Structure 1
Amino acid sequence: MYLEAPPPLMGENRMVFRSLDWAAFQQIRQLLAERTHARFTYDTGVLEITMPLEGHERLARLIELFIRILVVELGLKMKSMGSTTLARADLLKSAEPDNGYYIQNYALVADHEVDLAVDPPPDLVVEVDITHTDIQKNALYASLGVPEFWRFNGREWTILQLVEGRYEECDCSPTFPLVAKADLYGFLQTAIADEVTAELDFRQWVRAQTQA
């Protein structure tokens, strides 16, 4: 099943630079981050600079709402990382996802600023990629050790679980086994027309499922 609404023609503007060492990447990022709202993804010499457009941002925020409803209604704890930079200089990899969350490992990071040199990566990372990306993001986040990775291209939701260093596609989320792909598609379909109704309806549905 897919989201019924057709995807926007453009979700992001992207620029790609190749053969950049880590120091050059850091210089470019520092220079541009002060002047733009761009996001920077770096993987072993390849730098992709992304400027999210409205279609991208709306879907990312709606998926964030979907996750927050689940966390609240299921009585879980969560630390939201948003698009905080996930950088590992030792791996020559850095990413700024749409959303990152600590849920299972919430207690390990709740009281301090995350340092990936000593702290685990987020339990769940979400990326909306409507237009083509030159970065192999599955490999990137697998290298960073992210246990669960959601990708959404405007129509299709892919759930990936890290197994022995590589991602395997799942039918439902390991973090939220209560929901299936159809539930996100239905939520987004409603939310595109009416976000408040979508939230109220989904909260009611989650409560009904947990009380059954």
Structure 2
Amino acid sequence: MLLEPPPKLVGEKRLTFRNLDWHEFKQIQTLLTERTRARFTYDNGVLEITMPLEGHERSARLIELFIRVLVVEMGMKIKTMGSTTLDREDLLKSAEPDNEYYIQNYALVADHEVNLEVDPPPDLVVEVDITHTDLNKDTLYASLGVPEFWRFNGREWKVLQLTDGKYVECDRSPTFPAVAKQDLYQFLEAALLDEVAAEIGLRQWVQQQIKA
């Protein structure tokens, strides 16, 4: 099951720069962060600046709600990182994903501000890319060592698990193995009509799954 997108679905505006060194990238990021709500992704000389539009933001926030409900109802722990910048100058890579979380490694980072020089990367990263991106984000997040990467293009949800340095697509999330792809699709379809009812329905469904 896939979601049916509206015609000519546009979720982001993008601008790409090439052949930028790390210092130049950081100058642009600092300058524009003060003036815009743009997101910045840098990969070995290529900088992509993204301005999320409504379709992007709504999908990202609903997926965030989906994850929050699963964590709470399943009795798990979570540290939400939002779009915190993941900088690795040594790898010439930087990303500001839509959502990022510590779940399995919650205890390792719960009591301090994360420092990627000593702390592990987030356990789960979520990116919504409805319009085309020039960057290979699978390679980027694999290089950062992110164990689980969710991608949503407005229609299809891909669950990627890091295996031997590369992502392998999975039918189910390693973090939430009880959840099938159709469960997210059904939640998103319901939430587009009534977010409150969709959240209540999801909580009831998770509680039933736990009791089963």
TM-score class normalised by the smaller sequence: over 0.9
Q: Which residue of 1 aligns with 2:103?
A: 103
Q: Which residue of 2 aligns with 1:58?
A: 58
Q: Which residue of 2 aligns with 1:152?
A: 152
Distance 1:207 1:144 in 2: 34
Unmatched segments (≥5 aa) in structure 1:
none
Q: Give the 3 Å change call, closer, same or farther, for CA 150–58 of structure 1 in structure 2.
A: same
1:82-110: per-residue Cα shift (whole Å, max 9, x none)?
A: 00000100000000000000000000000
Q: Which residue of 1 aligns with 2:23?
A: 23
Q: Choose between structure 1 and 2 for higher RCO, CA contacts under 8 A separated by at least 6 residues.
A: 1
Shift, 1:7, TM fit = 6.6
Shift, 1:3, TM fit = 1.4
Unmatched segments (≥5 aa) in structure 2:
none
Give me the CA root mean square deviation. 0.8
Identity of aligned residues (%): 75
TM norm structure 2:
0.99
1:36-75 to 2 correspondence within 5 Å? 36-75=36-75
Q: Give the 3 Å change call, closer, same or farther, for CA 5–19 of structure 1 in structure 2.
A: closer
Distance 2:56 2:110 in 1: 29
Q: Which residue of 2 aligns with 1:119?
A: 119
Distance 1:16 1:154 in 2: 21
Shift, 1:9, TM fit = 1.8
Three-state SS of the structure 1 residue aligned to 2:4 is: coil
1:9 counterpart = 2:9: yes
1:134-153 to 2 correspondence within 5 Å? 134-153=134-153
Over 4 Å off, 4+ runs: none
Distance 2:185 2:11 in 1: 18
1:14-44: per-residue Cα shift (whole Å, max 9, x none)?
A: 0000000000000000000000000000000
Q: How many residues align?
A: 212
Q: Which residue of 1 aligns with 2:192?
A: 192
